[in-house]
Amino acid sequence: MIYFNNVSKIYKDAVALDDVTVTITAGEFVSIVGHSGAGKTTLTKMILAEDKPSLGTVFFESIDVHKLKNKDLTKLRRRIGVVFQDFKLLPNKTAYENIAFAMEAVGKTDEEIASDVPHVLELVDLGHRVSHFPNQLSGGEQQRLAIARAIINQPELIIADEPTGNLDPINTHEIVQILKKINDLGTTVILATHNRGVIDAIGKRVITMENGKVIRDSKHGK
pTM (predicted TM-score): 0.93
CA gap 16, 37 in Å, rounded: 7
**Cβ-count burial 140-168 (b if 16+ within 10 Å, e if not):** bbbbbbbbbbbbbbebbbbbbbbbbbebe
- pLDDT band for position 36 (50/70/90)? confident
- Domain 1-79+157-222 sits in CATH at 3.40.50.300
Domain ranges across the chain: 1-79+157-222, 88-154
Phi, psi (degrees; rounded to nearest 5) at 215: -105, -10
Q: How far apart are CA 221 and CA 205, in angstroms?
A: 6
Tens of pLDDT along 155-201? Answer: 999 999 989 888 888 899 999 999 999 999 999 999 999 888 888 88
Confidence class of residue 207 from pLDDT cuts 50, 70 and 90? very high
Q: Mean pLDDT, the chain, as a whole number? A: 94
The answer to whether the CB of 154 falls within 8 A of the CB of 116 is: no
DSSP per residue, the chain: -EEEEEEEEE-SS-EEEEEEEEEE-TT-EEEEE-STTSSHHHHHHHHTTSS--SEEEEEETTEEGGG--HHHHHHHHTTEEEE-TT----TTS-HHHHHHHHHHTTT--HHHHHHHHHHHHHHTT-GGGTT--GGGS-HHHHHHHHHHHHHTT--SEEEEESTTTTS-HHHHHHHHHHHHHHHHTT-EEEEEE--HHHHHHH-SEEEEEETTEEEEEETT--
* For residues 22-51, average pLDDT: 94
- Please say if the pLDDT value at position 99 is more than 90: yes
- Band (152; pLDDT cuts 50, 70, 90): very high
pLDDT tens sequence across 53-98: 999 999 999 999 999 999 999 999 999 999 988 889 999 999 999 9
How much of the chain, in percent, has pLDDT values that exceed 90?
Answer: 83
